[in-house]
Amino acid sequence: MNRFILRYQGEGSKPAEDVNRIRSLENIKVLDESSPRMLLVEGAGARLKALVESMPEWVLTPQRMIPLPDPRPKPRKRS
Amino acid sequence: MKSKLSIQQYILMPVRGFRAIQPFSPLSVVNFFISIASGGMVSPQAFGKKKAPPVKMRVLDSIHEDGPKLVELLPDQAITLRASQPSVKLVPVVYYRTAVSPRLTIRSRAVAGAGRAPLKITLKVVSKKDAKPVSGATVVAFVDFEKGIGDQGTTNSKGEVRLSLGGSRKKVQRLYVYPEKGFWGRLKKNITVISGTTIGLGPLDLSYADSLRYFYGNSPRGSGTGIKVAVIDTGVDTIHSDLHVDGGMNTVLGEDPKDFGPNGSSHGTHVGGIIAGQGRPPSGLRGLAPGVKLRSYRVFGKNAEGASNYDIIKAIDQAAADGCDLINMSLGGGRSDDAMRAAIEEARAKGSLVIVAAGNEYRSPVSFPASDPLAIAVSAIGRKGTFPKDSTEAGDISRPYGKDRNNFIAAFSNIGPELDLTGPGVGVLSTVPGGYAPMSGTSMACPAVAGFAAKMLSMPSHRNILKMRRDQARSDAMAQALLQAAKSLGFGPRYEGKGLPL
């Protein structure tokens, strides 16, 4: 399952009404809503994308991992 | 020196929104956008600031009189414009192309031959001082450096590591040894190794003038007083004798929010020490701004090698909400995302300046989020003579060299037009859990700049900035002061932005 970040860009905290609309989507699970302006959800991206297009104060971004920065050279192949 | 820079195209926009309208943009920016709407060369007077340095810029197109402009200017002029007008952003024009599939490469065959297990060579790492074994050191051996062929391992309690190099006696092009703490690393080139080959490491002397101390010296104890700095990283050691962590949060989903100490990596502790180390050589190390209130926001999970953008965004939000004046992010990579851009924009709108490492992908483009127009992107410089000649840092020496030929842009540093500043990032001595260690990376250059910013902002000449209301104008003023403090070392803006803040 893919994870997505939904961020509210309007004034103040994320509106409960908007959160309920997101929560009511079929096969979408809200994993974290502790942030005043964000939600972390799991589910089908297409449904979320369609909903967010009707909610102009929200942006949708896939969750991804950022590696620990390390400039040390590493072997790519074993000899 | 003749300039080899060529004119580049940029999209000129207000930092917030698509059009320069109040209250999101200051009146001076609104007037500036309208004044250049008709196109052509822009006169210096158009910037509405008598003290602003002159900028020659051609406006090629405008979407609306107060909207984005397509402009042409020299990269150094772009830096000058950004320094004098932090409320505008310059986005380099990029051209997309079709994704060409990567070429397949032939995998090299092990010299040991088919059906035979590659022979392992046992190397030993010891202290040069007393020949005692050094455990926990990472040993990386390349038999072909260009092709990345080799092996790596970690020394055991006897200081030994077993590597598969394709034979019992092998010519190694490069052998790197990275100790955990207490020693300089070691780089040996073109050596033949056999089982029993011993590599000696030089112990650290905390009085040594590394690149950070060469450029910035040792700060007075009160430097940075009144400034709150966030370190968004792997966690800062809360029990190190040289560090005082004022507070923070662990934003990793599913972990204890109060556990903002190290996740198993020493990276965040090293970053924290560069900013706020409170020790004094020869028994400890001092950072650039030991008087700051240092806050740790841990975004890397326990022993995790990656951090989620969600956890990082939460940390940015929390740091801004906690009133951090400076937010240090020695991390990055991957594609840009709208949510993190929005978080950086909101932090700036709350008066916090976000300083980000450019990345360590060996001259690749500046990574995200450093490439965000509202972030202060930092590359890494090094200086010959600030690390032992046989240390791993010797492998970071690379062209271009500065006006002072001992200065160089670190081989690993990313570069590009998004760079704002450069900082010392090769062989920097700082704190790690249980001791001290040298580290290299734009990760180290970034807190050097953040520490400098804290030190500068705490000085009487800049206290008026700290007294400003926590809004965009405040973070703009911090950015402007920091960029104006920078001096070019002669590398050109693609490598150093506006230069090293001094």
CA–chain centroid gap for B26, Å, is 30
Do the chains contact at B330 and A69, CB–CB below 8 Å? yes
Do the chains contact at A67 and B306, CB–CB below 8 Å? yes
pLDDT at B3: 45
Asked if A12 reaches chain B (Cβ–Cβ under 8 Å), the answer is no
Asked if A11 reaches chain B (Cβ–Cβ under 8 Å), the answer is no
- Indicate the range of B81-95, B223-237, B264-278 predicted with least confidence: B81-95
String of DSSP letters for B192-243: EEETT-EEEEPBP-TTS--HHHHHH-PPPTTTTTT-EEEEEES---SS-TT-
pLDDT tens digit sequence for B311-327: 999 999 999 999 999 99
Which of B165, B249, B310 best tests the A interface by mutation, with the highest count of A CBs <10 A?
B310
DSSP state at residue B427: S
Q: What is the mean pLDDT of residues B130-134?
A: 98
Q: In chain B, which residues have their Cβ closer than 8 Å to the Cβ of A35?
A: 313-314, 317
Q: What phi and psi values does residue B470 have, to the nearest 5 degrees? A: -75, 90
Do the chains contact at B306 and A68, CB–CB below 8 Å? yes
**Model pTM score:** 0.85
Cα atoms found within 13 Å of the Cα of residue B399, Cβ hemisphere only = 0
Q: In chain A, which residues have their Cβ closer than 8 Å to the Cβ of B340?
A: 61
Q: In chain B, which residues have their Cβ closer than 8 Å to the Cβ of A32?
A: 253, 310
Do the chains contact at B337 and A65, CB–CB below 8 Å? no
10 Å CB burial of residue B268 (0-12, 13-18, 19+) is buried
String of DSSP letters for B177-203: EE-SSSB--EEEEEEEEETT-EEEEPB
- Indicate the range of A38-42, B85-89, B193-197, B389-393 predicted with least confidence: B85-89
Contact in structure between B201 and B134 (CB atoms under 8 Å): yes
- Indicate the range of A31-35, A48-52, B37-41, B460-464 predicted with least confidence: B37-41
Q: Is B443 a catalytic residue?
A: yes
* Closest chain B CA to residue A35: B314
pLDDT at B83: 78
Write the CA distances from B286 to B49, B379, B459, integer angstroms.
Answer: 39, 22, 18
Quick one: pLDDT band at residue B253, thresholds 50, 70, 90?
very high
Nearest CB to A35; choose among B305, B309, B317: B317
pLDDT at B29: 78
Residue B206 has pLDDT above 80, yes or no: yes
Contact in structure between B409 and B398 (CB atoms under 8 Å): yes
Query: What distance in Å separates residue B143's CA from the closest CA in chain A?
Result: 7
**Most confidently predicted of B45-59, B118-132, B200-214:** B200-214
pLDDT at B477: 97
Query: What distance in Å separates residue A26's CA from the closest CA in chain B?
Result: 22
Q: What is the mean pLDDT of residues B59-74?
A: 78
pLDDT tens digit sequence for B377-403: 999 999 999 999 999 999 999 999 999
Do the chains contact at B310 and A70, CB–CB below 8 Å? no
Contact in structure between B8 and B73 (CB atoms under 8 Å): yes
Q: Please, what is the average pLDDT of chain B?
A: 89
Tell me the percentage of chain B whose pLDDT exceeds 70. Answer: 89
B128 CB contacts (<8 Å, ≥6 apart)? B200, B201, B202, B203
Do the chains contact at B164 and A68, CB–CB below 8 Å? no
Quick one: pLDDT band at residue B50, thresholds 50, 70, 90?
low
Count of positions (residues) in chain B: 502
Residue B337 has pLDDT above 60, yes or no: yes
Do the chains contact at B305 and A78, CB–CB below 8 Å? no
Asked if A72 reaches chain B (Cβ–Cβ under 8 Å), the answer is yes
DSSP state at residue B46: G
| Chain A residues 16-55 with CB within 8 Å of chain B | 31-32, 34-38, 40
Residue B215 has pLDDT above 50, yes or no: yes
Q: What is the mean pLDDT of residues B210-218?
A: 97
Residue B262 has pLDDT above 70, yes or no: yes
Q: With a cut of 0.85, is the ipTM above it?
A: yes
- Indicate the range of B87-96, B163-172, B256-265, B460-469 predicted with least confidence: B87-96
Q: In chain A, which residues have their Cβ closer than 8 Å to the Cβ of B108?
A: 77, 79
pLDDT at B33: 81
Residue B111 has pLDDT above 60, yes or no: no
Do the chains contact at A73 and B174, CB–CB below 8 Å? yes
